[in-house]
Amino acid sequence: MNKLFEDRNRQFWILHTLGWLGFAIVNYLSSLMLDTRDAFLIVISLDAYVGWLLTIPLRYLYRKVWFWDPWKMILVVLGVALFIAMLWTVIRNFNYWEIYRHGYRPSDWLLYIKDTPAAFYVMLSWSGLYFGIKYYQTLQLEKQKLLTAMNKAHEAQLKMLRYQLNPHFLFNTLNAISTLVLINDNDTANKMVSRLSDFLRYSLYKDPINKVMLEQEIYAARLYLEIEKVRFSERLTITIDLEPGTEKALVPSLILQPLIENAIKYAVASQVNGGEIAIKAKIFGHDLLLEVADNGPGMSLIDGAVKIPDNSDSGVGLVNTRERLAALYDNDFALVLTHNEPRGVKVNIRIPLQLEKTESEHA
C-alpha cells in the first residue's frame, strides 16, 4: 500500500511539473510571434512557477471532495478554481507590469483581474486533468483488485478440485489396509502403508495450482499403482508408453489419478482374472495427448460415446477432471471416453503442449 502511495505521489509531481512546463513553452512560442524583449521570458517563467505553486493546494482539497455528492463537488471545484484563477491573474499582471513595464501601475483596480476568464479556463483544465487521471487510476486499481480476487477464487477452486480426490483415494486404500490387518497379512499391509506414505508426501508437496512435468505425474501414478499392485498382485498388469519428448511436458498434478482409479475399480477389481491398465502419451502438433485405457467389461454406449452415471464414483472423478481442465485451459482441451478395442474403456485427454524449460533455455 505504501508503494502504491509513493508511486501515485511521484506520478503527480511529474505530471504536475510537466504540465506547467508545457504551459510555459506554449506561451514562449506564442510570444515569438510578437516583438517582445528578452525580459518577457522571465515573466513567462514566473507565471508558470506561480501557477505551479497555487495549484498544489488544489490536490489536497480535491482529495477531500472526491467522495462528495457530484453537485457539491462541482460547486467546490468551480468556486476554488475561480478564486485561484483570480489570485493567479493578479500576480501575473503584477509580474508583467513590474518586470516588463518597469513598475507600471494601472489606475483602475479592475485591470488587475481583467484576464481572469482565461486563467479560469486554465484552472478548470488543470482540475479536469486531475480528476480524469485520478478516476483512471482508481479504475485501474479496482480492475487490479478484481483480477486479484478472481485469481484467488480461481486458485481456491483448483485447490478444492485437487484436494477433493484425496479423501476418496484415502478411503479406498485405508479400507484395504484395514482388511489386510484383519486377515493378519501384516507384511502386505506394511508395504501398502509405506507406498501410501510416499504417495501422500508427493501429493502434499506439489502445489495444485502449478503444473508438473509428465515424468513426475507418471512417478505419482506408479506410486498409486504400486499400492494397488499390493492389493491385486498378478491380477493387475500395467503398461506405460511415453513417446520420447513428452517427459518434460507440463500437466496438472495428479490429473491421471482419478482415471487410473476408475480403471482399477471397473476393469481390475470387478474381474476374477483382473485386468490391464495402459497409460500412453504422445505429441500431436501443438497438443499433448494422454490416454488411460483398460480391458475391462466396458460401459454402456450412447451416440458412440461411453455413458457414465453422474452419481457414480467414476462420474465424480471424471467431472472433477473435466472441471480442473476447464479451469486451467478454458476451452482449449478435450476429454473423451470411448470403447477400447477389443474391450474396455479408453479415456483420452488433449491439452496444449507446454514444455518445461531447461536451465540453458532460462539462461
Read off the pLDDT band of 207 (50, 70, 90): low
**Of residues 163 and 123, which shows the higher confidence score?**
123
The pLDDT of residue 58 is above 50: yes
Reported as a single tens digit per residue, the pLDDT across 37-46 is 777 888 889 9
% the chain with pLDDT above 90? 31
The Cα 94–Cα 90 span in angstroms is 6
Amino acid of residue 272? V
pLDDT higher than 90, residue 17: yes
- Which spans in 96-164 are helix H? 116-163
CA–CA dist 222, 203 (Å, integer): 13
pLDDT confidence of residue 153: 55
List, for residues 284-334, the tens digit of each pLDDT value: 999 999 999 998 887 765 544 445 544 445 556 788 788 888 878 888 999
| Spatial contact of 100 and 40, defined as CB atoms under 8 Å apart | yes
Q: Which residues contact 54 (CB under 8 A, 6 or more apart)?
A: 84, 87, 88
Question: Residue 352 and residue 287: Cα distance in Å, rounded?
Answer: 4
Q: Identity (one letter) of the amino acid at 269?
A: A
Check: pTM over 0.75? Answer yes or no: no
Determine the pLDDT at residue 215: 93
Residue 61 pLDDT > 90, yes or no? Answer: yes
Query: β-strands 345-352, 334-339: how paired?
Result: antiparallel
CA distance 20 to 244: 64
Three-state DSSP at 319 gives helix
Contact 131, 76 (CB under 8 A): no
pLDDT at 34: 72
| Cell 501601475 -> residue | 105
